Amino acid sequence: MANTETALKEATTVIDGALGAALVDYTSGMALGTIGGGKDLDLAVAAAGNTDVVRAKVRTMEMLGLNEEIEDILITLGSQYHLIRLLKGRGTNGLFLYLALDKGRANLAMARHQLRKIEAELEV
């Protein structure tokens, strides 16, 4: 089992094109851990903003009566992918992994696969 720091480090070293990653509590909007980012990618701001995305999607699904679980949410920009993966394991309710990728260097399918693997090994 990997802790938060190890999981985030793995996300940015194993996943091609990774620009930054965060573990986020979407009940508070606070990042529990971050790695990467920089002046063009403020992970604290991204954590708070993506919390709003997750909350809106959860609320919409409830209003639609969809009895499904969100695996991930993909936001595609001109030069980046932003991947939000809601965690399902024991003790991870209300948490998501956030990964920003360089669109030109990333393989989206492989990134999703690797993030799923990192989630399975994460212990919070």
**Predicted pLDDT of residue 24:** 96
Mean pLDDT score of the chain, rounded to an integer? Answer: 92
Distance CA 98, CA 83 (A): 6
**Predicted pLDDT of residue 1:** 60
**Predicted pLDDT of residue 93:** 78
Average pLDDT of the residues in 66-73 = 93
pLDDT class of 124 with cuts at 50, 70, 90: confident
**How many residues are present in the chain?**
124
Query: Is the Cα dihedral 82, 85, 86, 91 positive or negative?
Result: negative
**Predicted pLDDT of residue 123:** 84
pLDDT class of 28 with cuts at 50, 70, 90: very high
- Asked whether the predicted pLDDT for residue 19 surpasses 90, the reply is yes
**Predicted pLDDT of residue 34:** 95
Could you tell me which residue, 88 or 99, shows the higher pLDDT?
Answer: 99
pLDDT class of 90 with cuts at 50, 70, 90: low
Average pLDDT of the residues in 26-32 = 91
**% of the chain surpassing 70 pLDDT:** 96
Helix 4-14 to helix 108-121 angle (10° resolution) is 160
* Radius of gyration of the chain from its Cα atoms, rounded to whole angstroms: 14
Distance CA 53, CA 45 (A): 13
